[in-house]
Every structure is written in structure tokens, then in C-alpha cells.
Structure 1
């Protein structure tokens, strides 16, 4: 990402902090993503009003979830459900979703950091001004083992325009079907040295969830010392060279589709063959592999995964699922735990962070790649790794533009049709011929 450390020594000692849930939180400001009133209809989220987020978007979709603040992971979202129009009750999607680690090694081999478990990421929660949460609500978070005032106005919930949800012009060209969409946006900003990490969760009205981490802040002038060919000149001439480094961000997702943790994972791969005699194009055959044991997975062309509900089906009788859509990444080859794009592991209460994992017995491996040990997957946990190699540029100063990295989960057969389908087109499910 487009930032460096306070210095490679970090100008401060790393601290070990216990994991703790936050205590009571208050809200300030007003906006569309306020906590649900206590007398509102029953929701999938099971938490008090202070920790509840509920938002009905313009397309008729309602997202519900609980939030808490962890002493190492920062913001944790739990009991996340999605209820598009036409569904009589919320559809559970995730038991929990949070960051799993931010691993930052430097190109010259001098240092590497695990920002969540080794450098006080959670304690660096920043206060947000009202202008940073336009039209929304800023919630007050009580930070566990805070270094200063533990009460931080640091959690924004708001909505933001996304543009077209769809556009379709009928064959007769006498009507255009189109809709504009808004997303529910939930985010925090956490400072680590010179970095300011924006942890963003976007919930769309079509059921898509996008997880992003953006880095901004400032270049560290103490790191303008890369004279070994591994840095980039900043400022006039070649006197100051910023040290290059990587950002390997892990997320941890615990799916609970339709209220069950016993989901199954499927991998799809497509093989392309050259056109045969008489064919106008290549042929593509797609095969499904059921992933029944723990896996270290790698994204490649014509490969994708989905998490399939063990209990729920849509109105067409198809199993509900969520497809995992990796974002752009640069895999860091210097560590075994960053050599794969994702890991599917069996749930283990002590396995909380992808690297430098605390809280387990001394004999338990500390990194996610060592947890892939052949166990059967009955309660699968998804660990997504998205990397970025940051070679600084003049434009990174001052302040630094936000650089984003992340991924999405997209509904596949959660509903029988597009959840935003206009009522006059609802009859077309599975049909293409116009009605007479």
C-alpha cells in the first residue's frame, strides 16, 4: 500500500494485548444506518440496540448484523443476514467476518510486522469527524486496553451510491428498465505508525458483500534510506529512496448460510480446447470438485469456489450458495503462509489469526498454512490472502492517496431471480418467450 512505517524500528515497542469484546457504545449524528429500535420486528442479528446495524436499501433489501470491537482484530461483524424483497424472513449469510492479519515484510529483509497481533492495530482506532461519514452515523467504540481515551468515535455506518444496479431495454425499444443502487457501508480507520488503515465492508442490495482494506496516511521520512537498489527515489534527485515492502492482508470468514455452520465447499475448474473441425469457437467443459478436507487454494483462470448451504434452497429448489471472488493480488513468496490465495480450515476456537496467532498451546502451529492438516470440513473457515507490493512513488506524498485491496462474496442461487427484478418481469423466471 502507499505508506511506510513510523520507522523500520516503529519508534515504539510492540505490545501484546488480550482479545476482549467492547463494552457499551453510544452513537452520535444521524443517518440511514441507525441502530434498530428495541420494538422493531425480530431480526437475524441477536444483540442489543447499541451493537445492532440494520439498513433497508433503496431496492428493498435489508441487511442486519451485530458488531463488536476486538482487542486485536478491531471491528468484528457477526450474525450477518440479508433479506431481499420477496423473502419473508432474513437469510443468514455469515456467523462472523473480520480481518485475520496484516503482514508487512520489507524488501531489504530488515524487518517484518504482523500489525494485528504484534503492533497494536486495534488500539490505533481513530476518531472520525462528521464529514468522514456523510449522511451516516458515527458510533462510539470502547477500545480494549486503550493507550489513551478508550472511548473513540470510530465506527461509521452510512449508505453510498453505487450507480446502476441494472439496465435493460426491451425488444420493442419502448421501455427501459433501470435502477440506481446504494450500498450499506461500514468502516473504521486504524493507525499503525505512519499508516492509516481503512477497513471497509460494503453490503449491496443484490446480496454481494465486498471487503476492502485501504491504506493512506504518510510516507515515513525515516525510511528514505533504500540505497541498495530496492527502493524508489522520492523528491528531487536520488538522495531519498523510500524502502519498498509488501502488504499481505488476510480476512477470516465464518459462514453460517441459512443458520447452519455445516456448509460445504465446491471448486469449479473449466478446461478450454481448441476449436475442432467445423466449430466456430473453442469448447469449454466445467467440472466440479467437492472439497471435503482442508485445502490451501490458489486462484487461476477459469477456477472459482462457492460455499454451499447445507440446509437452504431458493424458490427454484436450488441450493443457496455464495461464490468467493478474489481481488487483484501480488502473492508474497517469502513466507509459506502467503504462498496461497486462500485457505479452507476446519473451525478451531484457538485459530484466530493467520500469522503470529496467539492464544493456542505452545505445540499448536502459529500460522494458517500449518492448519491445513487433512481434517474433514464440517464447519469450514475461509482465510483470504490478498497481497500488494508497495514500491513508493512521488505521488505518495503528501498525504498519501488511498490504495485499496480486497475481495467479494457474491450470491449464487440465493434467490430464484435477481432480487431487484421489477414486478412486471417476475414472470420470466426460466422463460424467454414473451407472453401473448
Structure 2
């Protein structure tokens, strides 16, 4: 599928080839603003709600159902694509925004083919950032398509910010069935589309009114005509009869998250494991959950009833509980072919040079290594960076032509004790904090 890719073995970035690929964008107009966020403005008076430290052209602010407001800055990087900075969440009842993330971005799309004949790093080896696509208004219903300045390409109408219905935010019926509390929610949706050879990647971020953040990459576009040559067991026939075996391959998508809960980068990491003990005799099964503080760099593997959370170093909710965000991976096919693809999450000490999970194009000097697995060296976690790896093994099917339906892979960040109650709680249920009948 990657006929214009640069093979991993050639580590050098071939700028001329990438710019040629960028011509797929068509003609673009003159630049209308800076390529990155403006310098921080003078802080506003304390009585005002602080805005993200970026100019209005690079600011996203959206009030959702139930009174929740999300604020953030965006910028564009020619390797990572869309980057979100200073992401904050202000649910109803909170006097000030709650900082969640200092920054969030894609950290690699690694694509190894099952026959071993090709392997690609789409972000840092194949011109992902130069392939930003123009979006028609119909692709951003009810929203705004923003202009993005792409170095060496020009201005692309390439960033959509809009809202999208997500169905029930909650539903509760009273015991008598005479009253139902329910809400139909909307999400803030921020996304771009980047073209890499035959593939088109939709980089999507969703922000929900209950504080949940969803990060997903959708792969669409086309199966490449040069890849219909796999023997049975390495591909799938999609032509008439036993013909045109499209080569199977993996998409290992990485994200890099720099948490800044309550404005501090010194959050702590905790791992939770639950063990089920089968019943004895006529009894019932029991479950015990154990918390393990993660104090040193870690390459973590997902298991049944295991999860991680990032805990604020400074902030607590109105119940006195430390604010945190739980990492909720989506469906994933972990790929064992490379050291960096063998684990589902990584927690590393923050270093400016460590930006991409594989084929890292920044020089890390004596620390060495150009992939995230090489950076897990037992160092103490003071300012942790979170890396999430979600894999998809793509075995083609007849329905993948033509064009290919979007297949999604991603994860969520779920608020855990960020607020003392559901931030969307109806007014007549606000006294039900804790055991029913105890009140607040």
C-alpha cells in the first residue's frame, strides 16, 4: 500500500521526494498567519477565566451540553502532523479550567508487511506531515475548517473543529418508573486527514462533556496496486477466484502524551491488577485489586483486569480525592516483530529529544537509541511521558475496494476522581454523593 514510501533501512529523510508527494495537495493560497502558536500573552486578571496561551487563530474553545468547556491550542508539525497543547477541561461548577495535558500528538505509524519485504515509519520516513489534505465544508458538518500553514507546501484548509452527537451521556429511571433522567451528549471533534501514498489517515481527537478524551486514527484510501502478489498465508485474494492476493500488514499506531494535571508535570503513575479467585463449594468468586506505584520507567503489557492511571501531583476534587486520568486502550493486536511494538504502554522520563516511538529523528546523544523501548532504562519518573501503542493486523477483504472503508484504532483517557460527582448530574440528584441517603 505504500508505493512511494521510504524504506526504514535508509534512515535519511529524502526531502525532495516528500515535497513531490506533497504536490498531491494541489495549489494552495498564501500564508495568513504563523505556523505555530503565538508567544504567551500577559496573564489576565484573576477574576477572568484564563485562556490558552495562543492567539485566536490557534485556539479551540467549545462549550458542550451540561456546561462543560474544553480549551486548547493547536499547531502543526511536518513530522507528527496535528499537535494539541495546553488542553484544559472545565466542567460545570468548577471556577477555573483544570489542565489535563501539556501536549498530545501522534508519535508513529509503523507499518511492517507480513512477507518481510517492506517496513515503514509513516510519520518520520514517508512524508506524513507534508500530506495534509484540504477538507471540503461537507467533511466538517456544522463546524469550521481552519487554515494550516504547512512548511514548503503552503496553506491547506486542513483542520476541522466541530461537534458531533454521541448518544446517551447517561440514563437513570427511578424505582417507580415515573421519572427518567437522561441526556443526549455531544463531543468536540478535532481532526485532520494526511495522505501517505495510497493510504489516508484521519487523526481524530474527541472531547466529551463528562471529561473523557478519545484519540483515534482511521485508515482509509486505497489498497496499493503493487501489493497483489502475496502467497496464501501472507495475504488474501480480492480478485475473481484465487487471484490478486493483497499482502497482509500491521498498523502499529503510537501516541505521545505529556500530562499536566492541575498545571503540574510531576504526576505519578499507578498500575492496578485484579485477581479473580474461583468459588469454593457453594460460594461465589472473589476479586482482589492491587495498586502498584510505577516509580521508574516501564514498558507495560495489557492484561485482563489491568489498567493504569496518571495521578495529579497537586490537585484534588471537592471530596478530597486526587484527580487522575485512566488509560483505556481500545482493541489491539500487539505486534512482536520489533522491540518497540512488543508493549502496549511505555512510561519514560521526559526528555525533549524523545519525540517519536520509532525512527526518532532527534539526536538523543549518550542516552542512545531511536525507539521508545531503548529509553526505558530504569530512570526515576519525575516528569513522566506516556506512550500508547495500539496495533491492527490488516488482512484485506473484498470490501476494502474501492475506496477502502475506514478502520479505526485508538484509546480513551477517562477521568477518575477529577470531579466529586458526574459533572452532568441533574440538579435534583446533586445530594446523592456517596451512599444514598448520606448526602454531601
TM-score strictly above 0.5: yes
Counterpart for residue 6 of structure 1 = 3
Counterpart for residue 33 of structure 1 = none
Counterpart for residue 26 of structure 2 = none
Residue among 130, 133, 156 paired with 2:137: 130
Change (3 A) 1:353 1:9: closer
Residue among 248, 259, 278 paired with 1:255: 259
Aligned equivalents of 1:338, 1:229: Cα separation in 2: 22
Does residue 59 of the first structure (1) align with residue 71 of the second (2)?
Answer: no
Gaps of 5+ in 2: 19-30, 36-43
Q: Which has the higher contact order (CA 8 A, sep 6+)?
A: 1
Aligned equivalents of 1:56, 1:352: Cα separation in 2: 31
Aligned equivalents of 1:277, 1:238: Cα separation in 2: 55
Q: Could you tell me how far 1:25 is from its partner in structure 2?
A: 6.3
Alpha-carbon contact 2:6-2:126 (below 8 Å) kept: no
Does residue 201 of the first structure (1) align with residue 205 of the second (2)?
Answer: yes
Q: Could you tell me how far 1:62 is from its partner in structure 2?
A: 0.2
Change (3 A) 1:361 1:309: closer
Write the deviation string for residues 56-87 of structure 1: whole angstroms up to 9, x where unpaired. 00221000000000120000000000000010
Counterpart for residue 157 of structure 2 = 153
Counterpart for residue 162 of structure 1 = 166
Counterpart for residue 227 of structure 2 = 223
Aligned equivalents of 1:320, 1:302: Cα separation in 2: 21
Does residue 246 of the first structure (1) align with residue 250 of the second (2)?
Answer: yes
Residue among 212, 222, 231 paired with 2:216: 212
Q: Could you tell me how far 1:424 is from its partner in structure 2?
A: 0.8
Aligned equivalents of 2:354, 2:152: Cα separation in 1: 22
Q: Could you tell me how far 1:5 is from its partner in structure 2?
A: 2.2
Alpha-carbon contact 1:185-1:200 (below 8 Å) kept: yes
Counterpart for residue 308 of structure 1 = 311
Q: TM-score, normalization: structure 1?
A: 0.91
1:91-102 equivalence runs, <5 A: 91-102=98-109
Counterpart for residue 33 of structure 2 = 24
Counterpart for residue 386 of structure 2 = 382
Aligned equivalents of 1:265, 1:298: Cα separation in 2: 15
Counterpart for residue 413 of structure 2 = 409
Alpha-carbon contact 2:6-2:125 (below 8 Å) kept: no
Q: Could you tell me how far 1:278 is from its partner in structure 2?
A: 5.0
Does residue 233 of the first structure (1) align with residue 233 of the second (2)?
Answer: no
Aligned equivalents of 1:285, 1:79: Cα separation in 2: 37
Q: TM-score, normalization: structure 2?
A: 0.90
> Secondary structure of 1:333's partner?
coil
Aligned equivalents of 2:298, 2:399: Cα separation in 1: 40
Does residue 399 of the first structure (1) align with residue 403 of the second (2)?
Answer: yes
Aligned equivalents of 1:314, 1:176: Cα separation in 2: 28
Q: Could you tell me how far 1:230 is from its partner in structure 2?
A: 0.8
Q: Could you tell me how far 1:226 is from its partner in structure 2?
A: 1.2
Residue among 84, 88, 92 paired with 1:81: 88
